[in-house]
Chains A and B, each alone.
Chain A
Amino acid sequence: AQTVTQSQPEMSVQEAETVTLSCTYDTSENNYYLFWYKQPPSRQMILVIRQEAYKQQNATENRFSVNFQKAAKSFSLKISDSQLGDTAMYFCAFIESGAGSYQLTFGKGTKLSVIP
Chain B
Amino acid sequence: DSGVTQTPKHLITATGQRVTLRCSPRSGDLSVYWYQQSLDQGLQFLIQYYNGEERAKGNILERFSAQQFPDLHSELNLSSLELGDSALYFCASSVVSGRKNEQFFGPGTRLTVL
Contact = CB atoms under 8 A, between A and B. Distances in A.
Contact of A50 (B56, B92, B96, B102): B102
Interface stretch (A11-19, A21-29, A39-47, A68-76): A39-47
A interface residue count range (under 10 / 10 to 19 / 20 to 34 / 35 or more): 20 to 34
Contact of A102 (B58, B101, B105, B110): B101
Interface string A80-95: 0000000000010001
A108 B103 contact: no
A36 interface: no
B18 interface: no
Contacts of B105: 37, 44-46
A33 interface: yes
Given A44-B107, A103-B33, A50 B55 contact: no
Contact of B31 (A97, A102, A106): A102
A43 B43 contact: no
Contacts of A108: 42
Contact of B103 (A42, A100, A102, A109): A102
A65 interface: no
12 contacts: A43-B107, A43-B108, A44-B2, A47-B104, A91-B43, A102-B31, A102-B101, A103-B48, A103-B56, A104-B92, A106-B42, A107-B42
Given A47-B102, A108-B42, 11 more contacts: A43-B110, A44-B2, A44-B107, A45-B108, A50-B102, A100-B96, A102-B48, A102-B94, A103-B48, A104-B43, A105-B45
